[in-house]
Structure 1
Amino acid sequence: MESKREIFQTMMKRFGLLNKNSCMVGGLEITLVQSHILYEIDKRPSPSMQEVAETLGIDISTFSRQIQTLAKMNLVQKTPSSSDKRIFLLTLTTEGKFVAGAVNESMEQHLDEIFSHLSPFEQETVLHSMRVLNEAMAKSVVCCKPILK
């Protein structure tokens, strides 16, 4: 019988989560971490750097370097808050919105293709099980605990 670790390891390999690059969009190589950052910025209006870093469970210094890279790629804009100049707010540029949308569409197509090999009942069972696992991970003392919204 496969161990829990073996099942997760196989799933991560098959899903491509161990690959360095998530995808290519318009000639830009977007890493998995960068795609997660773009997704989280796109989900909310002008979030702070701290808010997105905490949501993703990334320490602020590592996150700040990622934001610098995304700003150099002209995907993210960092603006000081009008109420507190120590806080920086993040927005996607027009190009950033395009890239975030392209990555999201690619992921949706990838997941749709994977789920197409399951019956509707199996699809719902898998999604339900993933929700239950996410809730258990949020309660665990050994898992990263990003903010759930």
Structure 2
Amino acid sequence: MNKTYAIKLPTSVYIQFACLFLLIAIQLPNLLFWLRNSRPVAPIVISLAVILSLAAVASVQFFMFLRKNDRLEITENFIRISPMEAPLADIERIIVHGYFFQSIGIKRRGKRFVSFYFHFRFEDNEDEHVKEFLQWAGRNGIEVTHGRIIRWI
């Protein structure tokens, strides 16, 4: 069975990206305040470290955001969401999050979190495609759970 679906990024990716920039915007006035009153050096270093780490996470997410593919390909032996590919034996479970706007997370064996590339929503006919995808998972003996998708970057 070879099947291809159009997919898109889940809403949580956009929210996470906006929160990163909000945190940077909140931290910048703090840094400027400590730069004007330059007596203690520790708050300046801490503020700068926080801003740089948030900017690093935002830039990594932005480049992953640009590489995100818009196609899910299911074959007999693996699932491919470019640039990533997962053999069926490597899939531990499929997590469905949400009710009205369902996002799908594919958790691989030995991994603690769902990969950025394996967290997606279907582009059109979401309900129908989610049902087909979950039926396919059931036929292949992959566990399906409903709950929160924990993902890093």
The TM-score bracket by the shorter chain reads under 0.3
TM-score norm. by structure 1 comes to 0.26
More helix by share: 1
Q: Which has the larger share of strand?
A: 2
